[in-house]
Amino acid sequence: MIVFVSGAVRSGKSEAAEACARCLAHGGRLHYLATARAADAEMAARIRRHQERRTASGTHWTVWEAPARLGRLARSLHPSDVALIDCLTVWLANELFSGDSWRTEETSFAIARRLLDDVRRLADACRAVVIVSNELFSGGVPADPGTFHYMKTLGWLHQQLVAEAAAAAVVECGLVRVRKGRWPQ
């Protein structure tokens, strides 16, 4: 099963996704697939806040620092486990901008298809995969080609994942707005 959670920066989507994953776990193990790298002080602080929140919840998470190639983690999952990917936007950026892949639509979408296959592999290996992603599309078309390819690729990937998801929600101001299926509670 795939559950897709999106929203703006600081909308509360990670907290909503973590609560969703805990509901789906039913005694299975929880895996946190963290895609961000602490490249600067601001990102290090965000990562630390996420870690502190997970610790404060009293829930045990197996954390995988996985900026790329998440599909390889499928062999570490069991059928009763739940995996949370936080977040798709960073994962795609890590994969897309690791070289010159973003320069053509063909290579950008080949990477997106590989990410989609990785999500499917993870979902086949466990009870559920909860995916967190950012909504980046309300500001118009960006001028620089790298950002433009990234946004087109992310938009396509969002559509594919939501089509396959059992549930999809947008988080706004900490409120979960279900757009597809039933939200696990």
| C-alpha–C-alpha distance, residues 130 and 174, integer Å | 17
Give catalytic status of residue 31 as yes or no: no
Q: What does the pLDDT look like over 37-83, one tens digit per residue?
A: 777 888 778 778 877 777 777 678 999 999 999 999 999 999 999 99
Q: Considering only 4-8, 35-39, 129-133, which range has the smallest mean pLDDT?
A: 35-39
Question: Which of the residues 26, 31, 50, 158 is marked catalytic?
Answer: 50
Using N-to-C axis directions, what is the helix angle for 145-164 and 88-96, rounded to 10°?
130
Distances in Å between the alpha carbon of 61 and those of 47, 112, 145, 170? 15, 27, 38, 24
Element (H, E) at 86: strand 82-86
Q: What does the pLDDT look like over 21-41, one tens digit per residue?
A: 999 998 899 999 999 877 788
Helices assigned H by DSSP within 26-165: 41-56, 88-96, 105-125, 145-164
Rg over CA atoms, the chain: 16
Q: How many CA atoms lie within 13 A of 25 on its CB side?
A: 20
Q: Which domains does the chain have, with CATH numbers?
A: 2-180 (3.40.50.300)
